[in-house]
Homo-oligomer: A and B are copies of this chain.
Amino acid sequence: MTYVRNAWYVAAWSRDLEVAKPFATSILGEPIVLWTSETGQLAALEDRCVHRLAPLSLGRCEGPHLRCMYHGLMFASDGQVVEIPGQDIVPAQARVRAYPVIDRHDWIWIWMGEAGLADPALIPPAIGLSDPDWILGHGQLDYAAEARLICDNLLDFSHLTFVHAASFGAGSEFAAHPPKITPLDRGVRVTRWLPNPAGSPRNPSDVAMESYQSYDFLIPGILLMWSGNYPLGTAARLGAEAPALADAVSGLNFTSQAVTPMAAQTSRYFFSWGPHIRDGDLAKRDSMMTMAGAAFAEDKRMIEAQQRVIAATPDPRIMPIAHDKGITLYNRLVEKLATSQPENLESAA
């Protein structure tokens, strides 16, 4: 399984990092410890002491440093050991890998590739929980499945018709009609106009509407989607092109989602969702999150089952169908960006 290393991966919700408390995770099979010092400095190191490989995440934050609590080696935020108890000289090679790390949009982003290429401009424009225009709930799920299977799921919403008929009240429209797929520099854009009759889950009013739904799916597995309702005839008037977000007359909402490969067959899925302040409140947000909770459990059940079948199949092959267009486009981009770099998950994990 190939992944793009030169990319920002979501490691955690910013609010889940407590000050001066190490936070353990893993990305692309690499154990990583994150911490915020008492003065607010964020750091990410290889979670493996250079001495005897104890996890630094069992360590103790001391000022800007992190001390391994097995034999007391102290690490600076750049990975360099700065103290070895019982020993006067610290060799220069006493260091672990440090990862570029940024707190943005209420997510902690880690650059898994070559540090010199870590450009903050490549962080996808997610909408954070603290954005004043949106009322967002959030959550996360751990998957016993490789991240690519979750990305594939998110790149083809035809599954809504079958997997989410109950939770999202999705009808046949998702499977019947392909969306418009547009290539982006680091992803694909998936857009569609959908009928939204009066009284549907997406439209609790008594007036029939049209819904527009647009998401960008970006390297290394970030989905940013908004949707909203428009008066009947809008799609025709625009020649099925994209409306302005601000012109939505109801139901405007936004979801940011991130799929992070923890190891070869485990992943963490982060998501937020909620209405625009114009179109909802905390109660609306909570009912949307309840719906999402049910839907994402449906996905997890299906994808983990799919993973088990794949793992038990000697030579697993897929047979692409018409709805796979977005998946194919995105995965070609992954292959292209991944092979222009020396490493991939299989060599790392």
Contacts and interface: CB of A to CB of B under 8 A. Distances in A.
B178 A309 contact: no
Nearest to A319: B50
Name the residue in A71, A84, A158 with the highest tally of chain B Cβ atoms < 10 Å from its Cβ. A71
A69 B163 contact: yes
Interface string A293-318: 00000000110011011101100101
A86 B177 contact: yes
A87 B175 CA distance: 9
B51 A319 contact: yes
A262 B318 CA distance: 24
A175 B322 contact: no
B302 A54 contact: yes
B85 A323 contact: yes
A337 interface: no
A158 B47 contact: no
A238 interface: no
A86 B50 contact: no
Nearest to A60: B162
A187 to B, nearest CB: 21
A4 to B, nearest CB: 21
Given A69-B302, A71-B159, A84-B322, A309 B175 contact: no
Interface string A22-35: 00000001010000
Contact of A301 (B58, B85, B305): B58
A176 interface: yes
Interface string A83-109: 011110001011000000000000000
B309 A48 contact: yes
Given A71-B323, A322-B84, A55 B309 contact: yes
The 6 A-B residue pairs with the shortest CB-CB distance, nearest first, are: A85-B175, A87-B322, A54-B306, A69-B162, A86-B323, A72-B162
29 contacts: A29-B312, A31-B312, A50-B319, A51-B318, A51-B319, A52-B318, A53-B306, A53-B310, A53-B313, A53-B316, A54-B302, A55-B308, A68-B162, A70-B162, A71-B156, A71-B158, A71-B159, A71-B175, A71-B323, A72-B161, A73-B321, A85-B175, A85-B323, A86-B158, A86-B176, A86-B177, A86-B178, A86-B321, A93-B319
